[in-house]
């Protein structure tokens, strides 16, 4: 249990019965700035630019691919976890799904979402603390994630948490509902 701004949240590993609540967390966001990506012959540059009217991003439904929902049991040797945040009323208000790759000692944040009315309260930072604890348990050398260039609020949050830009993919979203956006990769050494 962690108390943030007079609200006590429970943080724990997801259970199979959390699957529906995890899928119901609304990860959409509104932003008045985006990061414009300029690709050059030697790399790329980012420039934060205002957007008017503000951009409202709603993520498409998951296609039900081969990735699990992360609500597996906490079996020894399991290289993935989903951590959840539950409010005092018992509602699941956020989650972080991660996986570990031993070959390169990378812990990948597959997804992290916080319900809109619980953002800015430290829920994401506390979930990230649980992610980093798991990374250390696994022997991870670094933690890695992908974020769209239009998600300026998340990019700022990740930077405050110690992540830095480490790559770009201009083709990841081609042929998807997010076409026109670029994938930014961020990482941080495992503390």
Instruction: Report the share of the chain in percent with pLDDT over 70.
Output: 88
Distance CA 137, CA 130 (A): 11
Question: Does the predicted model carry a pTM greater than 0.85?
Answer: yes
Q: Could you read off the pLDDT of 31-59 as tens digits, one per residue?
A: 999 999 999 888 899 999 999 999 999 98
3-class secondary structure, 174? coil
Q: Could you read off the pLDDT of 133-142 as tens digits, one per residue?
A: 999 999 999 9
Q: Measured over all CA atoms, what is the biggest interatomic distance in the chain, rounded to whole angstroms?
A: 53
Distance CA 58, CA 27 (A): 7
Q: Could you read off the pLDDT of 91-103 as tens digits, one per residue?
A: 999 999 999 999 9
Which pLDDT does position 64 carry in this prediction?
A: 46
Confidence check: pLDDT of 127 > 90? yes
3-class secondary structure, 117? helix
The answer to whether 88 and 55 are in contact (CB under 8 A) is no
Taking residues 69-75, report their average pLDDT: 43
Task: With cut-offs at 50, 70 and 90, classify the pLDDT of residue 75.
Answer: very low
The answer to whether 176 and 60 are in contact (CB under 8 A) is yes
Confidence check: pLDDT of 123 > 50? yes
């Amino acid at each position: 249990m962690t108390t943030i701004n007079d609200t006590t949240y429970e943080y724990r590993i997801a259970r199979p019965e959390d699957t529906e609540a995890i899928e119901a967390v609304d990860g959409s966001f509104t932003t008045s700035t985006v990061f414009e990506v300029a690709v050059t012959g030697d790399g790329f540059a980012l420039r934060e630019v205002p957007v008017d009217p503000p951009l409202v991003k709603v993520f498409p439904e998951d296609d039900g691919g081969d990735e699990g929902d992360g609500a597996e049991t906490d079996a020894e040797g399991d290289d993935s976890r989903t951590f959840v945040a539950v409010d005092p009323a018992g509602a699941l208000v956020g989650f972080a799904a991660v996986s570990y790759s031993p070959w390169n000692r990378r812990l990948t944040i597959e997804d992290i979402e916080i319900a809109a009315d619980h953002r800015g309260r430290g829920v994401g930072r506390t979930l990230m603390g649980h992610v980093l604890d798991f990374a250390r348990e696994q022997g991870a050398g670094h933690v890695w994630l992908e974020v769209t260039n239009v998600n300026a609020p998340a990019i700022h949050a990740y930077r405050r948490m110690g992540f830095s830009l480490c790559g770009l993919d201009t083709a990841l979203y081609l042929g998807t509902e997010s076409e026109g956006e670029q994938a930014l990769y961020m990482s941080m050494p495992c503390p």
